[in-house]
Chain A
Protein backbone atom coordinates (compact mmCIF):
# COMPACT_ATOMS: atom_id res chain seq x y z
CA UNK A 1 0.00 0.00 0.00
CA UNK A 2 1.34 3.40 -0.97
CA UNK A 3 1.74 6.02 1.72
CA UNK A 4 -0.73 8.91 1.58
CA UNK A 5 0.76 12.06 0.06
CA UNK A 6 -1.97 14.53 1.00
CA UNK A 7 -3.86 15.29 4.18
CA UNK A 8 -7.19 13.63 4.98
CA UNK A 9 -9.20 16.78 4.43
CA UNK A 10 -7.66 17.24 0.99
CA UNK A 11 -8.51 13.70 -0.04
CA UNK A 12 -12.01 14.07 1.41
CA UNK A 13 -12.74 17.14 -0.70
CA UNK A 14 -11.37 15.46 -3.81
CA UNK A 15 -13.81 12.59 -3.23
CA UNK A 16 -16.70 15.04 -2.79
CA UNK A 17 -15.86 16.87 -6.01
CA UNK A 18 -15.52 13.65 -7.98
CA UNK A 19 -18.75 12.10 -6.70
CA UNK A 20 -20.73 15.28 -7.27
CA UNK A 21 -19.41 15.53 -10.83
CA UNK A 22 -20.31 11.89 -11.51
CA UNK A 23 -23.80 12.49 -10.10
CA UNK A 24 -24.31 15.45 -12.42
CA UNK A 25 -23.29 13.41 -15.44
CA UNK A 26 -25.38 10.37 -14.58
CA UNK A 27 -28.58 12.35 -13.92
CA UNK A 28 -28.11 14.35 -17.07
CA UNK A 29 -31.21 16.47 -17.73
CA UNK A 30 -30.11 19.16 -15.26
CA UNK A 31 -32.42 20.30 -12.46
CA UNK A 32 -31.64 22.08 -9.21
CA UNK A 33 -33.37 19.49 -6.99
CA UNK A 34 -31.19 16.72 -8.39
CA UNK A 35 -28.15 18.82 -7.58
CA UNK A 36 -29.20 19.34 -3.95
CA UNK A 37 -29.76 15.62 -3.43
CA UNK A 38 -26.48 14.92 -5.23
CA UNK A 39 -24.53 17.29 -2.98
CA UNK A 40 -25.90 15.65 0.17
CA UNK A 41 -25.17 12.16 -1.12
CA UNK A 42 -21.68 13.16 -2.29
CA UNK A 43 -20.74 14.44 1.18
CA UNK A 44 -21.94 11.24 2.87
CA UNK A 45 -20.47 8.83 0.29
CA UNK A 46 -17.12 10.65 0.38
CA UNK A 47 -17.03 10.27 4.16
CA UNK A 48 -17.36 6.50 3.75
CA UNK A 49 -14.82 5.99 0.99
CA UNK A 50 -12.25 8.80 0.72
CA UNK A 51 -9.46 6.64 2.18
CA UNK A 52 -9.66 4.10 -0.62
CA UNK A 53 -10.30 6.54 -3.45
CA UNK A 54 -7.06 8.48 -3.75
CA UNK A 55 -3.66 9.04 -2.20
CA UNK A 56 -2.88 12.49 -3.56
CA UNK A 57 -6.17 14.34 -3.17
CA UNK A 58 -6.96 17.52 -5.08
CA UNK A 59 -3.70 17.33 -7.06
CA UNK A 60 -5.51 14.81 -9.24
CA UNK A 61 -7.60 17.60 -10.77
CA UNK A 62 -4.47 19.09 -12.35
CA UNK A 63 -3.62 15.62 -13.61
CA UNK A 64 -7.02 15.34 -15.27
CA UNK A 65 -6.23 18.58 -17.13
CA UNK A 66 -2.97 17.12 -18.47
CA UNK A 67 -4.86 13.95 -19.28
CA UNK A 68 -7.42 15.74 -21.42
CA UNK A 69 -5.19 18.15 -23.31
CA UNK A 70 -1.92 16.28 -23.75
CA UNK A 71 -2.40 12.58 -23.16
CA UNK A 72 -5.72 12.13 -24.96
CA UNK A 73 -4.67 13.38 -28.45
CA UNK A 74 -1.56 11.16 -28.46
CA UNK A 75 -3.64 8.27 -27.18
CA UNK A 76 -6.36 8.62 -29.83
CA UNK A 77 -3.76 8.77 -32.61
CA UNK A 78 -2.12 5.60 -31.30
CA UNK A 79 -5.50 3.87 -30.89
CA UNK A 80 -6.43 4.51 -34.51
CA UNK A 81 -2.99 3.35 -35.71
CA UNK A 82 -3.38 0.19 -33.61
CA UNK A 83 -6.74 -0.58 -35.13
CA UNK A 84 -5.55 -0.11 -38.70
CA UNK A 85 -2.70 -2.49 -37.85
CA UNK A 86 -5.14 -5.08 -36.47
CA UNK A 87 -7.39 -4.64 -39.50
CA UNK A 88 -4.41 -5.22 -41.79
CA UNK A 89 -3.57 -8.46 -40.02
CA UNK A 90 -7.09 -9.83 -39.71
CA UNK A 91 -8.25 -9.05 -43.25
CA UNK A 92 -5.07 -10.41 -44.85
CA UNK A 93 -5.72 -14.05 -45.89
CA UNK A 94 -2.19 -15.14 -44.89
CA UNK A 95 -2.25 -13.37 -41.47
CA UNK A 96 1.35 -12.06 -41.22
CA UNK A 97 2.07 -12.53 -37.51
CA UNK A 98 5.34 -13.14 -35.66
CA UNK A 99 4.36 -13.17 -31.98
CA UNK A 100 6.60 -13.18 -28.94
CA UNK A 101 6.81 -12.19 -25.29
CA UNK A 102 9.23 -9.35 -24.57
CA UNK A 103 10.09 -7.44 -21.43
CA UNK A 104 10.40 -3.67 -21.07
CA UNK A 105 11.77 -1.48 -18.32
CA UNK A 106 9.99 1.59 -17.00
CA UNK A 107 11.26 4.44 -14.84
CA UNK A 108 7.88 5.37 -13.41
CA UNK A 109 7.73 5.15 -9.63
CA UNK A 110 4.10 5.38 -8.60
CA UNK A 111 1.90 2.27 -8.97
CA UNK A 112 -0.94 4.30 -10.47
CA UNK A 113 1.37 5.61 -13.19
CA UNK A 114 2.45 2.05 -13.99
CA UNK A 115 -1.17 0.96 -14.32
CA UNK A 116 -1.80 3.83 -16.75
CA UNK A 117 1.31 2.88 -18.73
CA UNK A 118 0.23 -0.77 -18.92
CA UNK A 119 -3.26 0.25 -20.04
CA UNK A 120 -1.86 2.56 -22.71
CA UNK A 121 0.47 -0.16 -23.96
CA UNK A 122 -2.47 -2.54 -24.36
CA UNK A 123 -4.22 -0.14 -26.69
CA UNK A 124 -1.21 0.78 -28.86
CA UNK A 125 -0.21 -1.06 -32.06
CA UNK A 126 0.42 -4.78 -31.66
CA UNK A 127 1.19 -4.92 -27.95
CA UNK A 128 -0.64 -6.38 -24.95
CA UNK A 129 0.73 -6.06 -21.43
CA UNK A 130 0.50 -9.41 -19.67
CA UNK A 131 2.22 -9.01 -16.32
CA UNK A 132 4.01 -6.39 -14.25
CA UNK A 133 6.84 -6.97 -11.80
CA UNK A 134 8.55 -4.02 -10.08
CA UNK A 135 10.17 -2.11 -12.95
CA UNK A 136 9.53 -4.62 -15.70
CA UNK A 137 6.39 -5.06 -17.76
CA UNK A 138 5.96 -8.28 -19.74
CA UNK A 139 4.40 -7.73 -23.12
CA UNK A 140 2.93 -9.92 -25.83
CA UNK A 141 3.96 -8.40 -29.13
CA UNK A 142 2.22 -9.54 -32.28
CA UNK A 143 5.04 -8.59 -34.68
CA UNK A 144 8.26 -8.64 -32.66
CA UNK A 145 10.60 -5.77 -33.56
CA UNK A 146 13.53 -6.03 -31.16
CA UNK A 147 14.05 -8.34 -28.22
CA UNK A 148 16.54 -6.10 -26.43
CA UNK A 149 15.05 -4.57 -23.26
CA UNK A 150 16.25 -1.00 -23.95
CA UNK A 151 15.20 -0.88 -27.60
CA UNK A 152 11.85 -2.48 -26.91
CA UNK A 153 11.15 0.00 -24.09
CA UNK A 154 11.88 2.95 -26.35
CA UNK A 155 9.81 1.56 -29.21
CA UNK A 156 6.75 0.54 -27.19
CA UNK A 157 6.50 2.90 -24.24
CA UNK A 158 8.55 5.92 -25.31
CA UNK A 159 5.81 8.39 -26.19
CA UNK A 160 3.57 7.66 -23.20
CA UNK A 161 6.27 7.44 -20.59
CA UNK A 162 7.27 11.10 -21.04
CA UNK A 163 3.69 12.30 -20.58
CA UNK A 164 3.04 10.09 -17.57
CA UNK A 165 6.29 11.20 -15.96
CA UNK A 166 5.10 14.82 -16.01
CA UNK A 167 1.60 13.83 -14.97
CA UNK A 168 2.59 11.82 -11.89
CA UNK A 169 5.51 13.96 -10.80
Chain B
Protein backbone atom coordinates (compact mmCIF):
# COMPACT_ATOMS: atom_id res chain seq x y z
CA UNK B 1 0.00 0.00 0.00
CA UNK B 2 2.68 2.47 1.05
CA UNK B 3 4.65 1.50 -2.06
CA UNK B 4 1.66 2.35 -4.21
CA UNK B 5 1.20 5.79 -2.62
CA UNK B 6 4.90 6.63 -2.91
CA UNK B 7 4.99 5.32 -6.48
CA UNK B 8 2.10 7.44 -7.70
CA UNK B 9 3.49 10.51 -5.91
CA UNK B 10 6.66 9.80 -7.90
CA UNK B 11 4.69 9.58 -11.15
CA UNK B 12 3.12 12.98 -10.46
CA UNK B 13 6.56 14.45 -9.62
CA UNK B 14 8.03 13.09 -12.86
CA UNK B 15 5.12 14.63 -14.77
CA UNK B 16 5.76 18.02 -13.15
CA UNK B 17 9.46 17.70 -13.88
CA UNK B 18 8.96 16.77 -17.53
CA UNK B 19 6.53 19.67 -17.93
CA UNK B 20 9.04 22.16 -16.52
CA UNK B 21 11.80 20.75 -18.73
CA UNK B 22 9.50 21.48 -21.66
CA UNK B 23 8.77 25.00 -20.35
CA UNK B 24 12.49 25.70 -20.01
CA UNK B 25 13.12 24.65 -23.59
CA UNK B 26 10.15 26.72 -24.78
CA UNK B 27 11.53 29.74 -22.92
CA UNK B 28 14.95 29.27 -24.48
CA UNK B 29 13.25 29.06 -27.86
CA UNK B 30 10.87 32.04 -27.52
CA UNK B 31 12.40 34.78 -25.39
CA UNK B 32 14.04 37.72 -27.16
CA UNK B 33 17.62 37.94 -25.87
CA UNK B 34 20.36 35.84 -24.35
CA UNK B 35 19.95 36.84 -20.71
CA UNK B 36 16.20 36.25 -20.66
CA UNK B 37 16.76 32.88 -22.31
CA UNK B 38 19.34 32.04 -19.69
CA UNK B 39 16.84 32.89 -16.93
CA UNK B 40 14.12 30.63 -18.28
CA UNK B 41 16.61 27.92 -19.16
CA UNK B 42 18.23 27.82 -15.73
CA UNK B 43 15.22 28.04 -13.44
CA UNK B 44 12.75 25.86 -15.28
CA UNK B 45 15.20 23.12 -16.24
CA UNK B 46 16.68 23.00 -12.73
CA UNK B 47 13.30 22.41 -11.11
CA UNK B 48 12.42 20.04 -13.95
CA UNK B 49 15.44 17.80 -13.61
CA UNK B 50 15.38 17.83 -9.79
CA UNK B 51 11.70 16.93 -9.67
CA UNK B 52 12.18 14.18 -12.28
CA UNK B 53 15.09 12.69 -10.35
CA UNK B 54 13.28 12.67 -7.00
CA UNK B 55 10.17 11.24 -8.66
CA UNK B 56 12.17 8.37 -10.15
CA UNK B 57 13.75 7.77 -6.75
CA UNK B 58 10.27 7.43 -5.23
CA UNK B 59 8.97 5.09 -7.94
CA UNK B 60 11.83 2.58 -7.86
CA UNK B 61 12.51 1.03 -4.49
CA UNK B 62 16.03 1.61 -3.17
CA UNK B 63 17.03 4.32 -5.63
CA UNK B 64 16.06 7.25 -3.41
CA UNK B 65 19.47 7.86 -1.82
CA UNK B 66 21.38 8.02 -5.08
CA UNK B 67 18.71 10.12 -6.76
CA UNK B 68 18.78 12.61 -3.87
CA UNK B 69 22.56 12.88 -4.27
CA UNK B 70 22.09 13.51 -8.00
CA UNK B 71 19.42 16.15 -7.28
CA UNK B 72 21.66 18.00 -4.81
CA UNK B 73 24.54 17.93 -7.28
CA UNK B 74 22.34 19.39 -10.02
CA UNK B 75 20.95 22.07 -7.69
CA UNK B 76 24.47 23.20 -6.83
CA UNK B 77 26.06 23.16 -10.29
CA UNK B 78 23.31 24.41 -12.60
CA UNK B 79 23.27 28.04 -11.35
CA UNK B 80 27.08 28.16 -11.51
CA UNK B 81 27.22 27.18 -15.16
CA UNK B 82 24.50 29.67 -16.12
CA UNK B 83 26.28 32.42 -14.19
CA UNK B 84 29.51 31.63 -16.03
CA UNK B 85 27.73 31.70 -19.38
CA UNK B 86 25.99 35.02 -18.65
CA UNK B 87 29.14 36.77 -17.55
CA UNK B 88 31.25 35.37 -20.38
CA UNK B 89 28.76 36.31 -23.07
CA UNK B 90 28.29 39.85 -21.76
CA UNK B 91 32.05 40.34 -21.90
CA UNK B 92 32.23 38.70 -25.33
CA UNK B 93 30.11 41.60 -26.58
CA UNK B 94 26.56 40.21 -26.68
CA UNK B 95 24.20 43.20 -26.62
CA UNK B 96 21.13 42.89 -24.37
CA UNK B 97 17.62 43.26 -25.80
CA UNK B 98 16.85 46.91 -26.66
CA UNK B 99 14.21 47.34 -23.93
CA UNK B 100 16.79 46.63 -21.22
CA UNK B 101 16.73 49.50 -18.75
CA UNK B 102 18.67 50.30 -16.56
CA UNK B 103 21.98 48.67 -17.50
CA UNK B 104 24.30 49.22 -14.54
CA UNK B 105 26.57 46.35 -15.56
CA UNK B 106 27.64 48.09 -18.80
CA UNK B 107 29.49 50.79 -16.78
CA UNK B 108 31.57 48.22 -14.95
CA UNK B 109 32.49 46.27 -18.08
CA UNK B 110 33.41 49.52 -19.86
CA UNK B 111 35.58 50.67 -16.95
CA UNK B 112 37.42 47.35 -16.89
CA UNK B 113 38.05 47.33 -20.62
CA UNK B 114 39.39 50.91 -20.40
CA UNK B 115 41.86 49.85 -17.75
CA UNK B 116 43.38 47.18 -19.98
Question: Which A positions have Cβ atoms within 8 angstroms of B?
Answer: 25-26, 28-29, 79-80, 82-83, 86-87, 89-91, 95, 97-103, 118-119, 122-123, 126-131, 133, 138, 140, 142, 144, 147
* B74 nearest CB across to chain A (Å): 11
Residue contact B40 to A122, C-beta cutoff 8 Å: no
Closest to B16 in A: A83
Sample of 16 A–B contacts (CB below 8 Å): A26-B69, A29-B62, A79-B43, A83-B20, A83-B43, A90-B26, A98-B101, A99-B96, A101-B103, A122-B43, A126-B39, A127-B39, A128-B39, A130-B35, A130-B83, A131-B87
Residue contact A99 to B36, C-beta cutoff 8 Å: yes
Residues of A within 8 A of B26 (CB): 90-91
* Measured CA separation A127–B108 after assembly (Å): 19
Residues of B within 8 A of A142 (CB): 36, 39
State whether A123 and B87 are in contact (beta carbons under 8 Å apart), knowing that A28-B65, A99-B35 are contacts in the complex. no
Besides A101-B102, A101-B103, 19 more A-B contacts (Cβ < 8 Å) are: A29-B62, A86-B43, A86-B44, A95-B30, A97-B32, A97-B36, A97-B99, A99-B36, A100-B101, A101-B100, A102-B102, A119-B76, A123-B42, A123-B43, A128-B82, A130-B35, A131-B90, A131-B108, A144-B102
A-B contacts, CB under 8 A, total: 125
Q: Mark B25-40, 1 if CB is under 8 A from A, else 0.
A: 0110011110110111
Secondary structure of the B contact surface, majority rule: helix
* A74 nearest CB across to chain B (Å): 14
List CB contacts (< 8 Å) of B14-60 with chain A.
Answer: 20, 23-24, 26-27, 30-33, 35-36, 38-40, 42-44, 46-47
Q: Mark B89-110, 1 if CB is under 8 A from A, else 0.
A: 0100000110111111110100
Closest to A24 in B: B65
Question: Which B positions have Cβ atoms within 8 angstroms of A?
Answer: 20, 23-24, 26-27, 30-33, 35-36, 38-40, 42-44, 46-47, 62, 65-66, 69, 75-76, 79-80, 82-83, 86-87, 90, 96-97, 99-106, 108
* Measured CA separation A29–B69 after assembly (Å): 14
* Measured CA separation A34–B66 after assembly (Å): 16
Closest to B30 in A: A90
User: What 6 A-B pairs are tightest by C-beta distance, nearest first?
Assistant: A122-B79, A101-B105, A90-B27, A119-B79, A138-B105, A140-B35
Option from A80, A91, A130 in Cβ contact (under 8 Å) with B86: A130
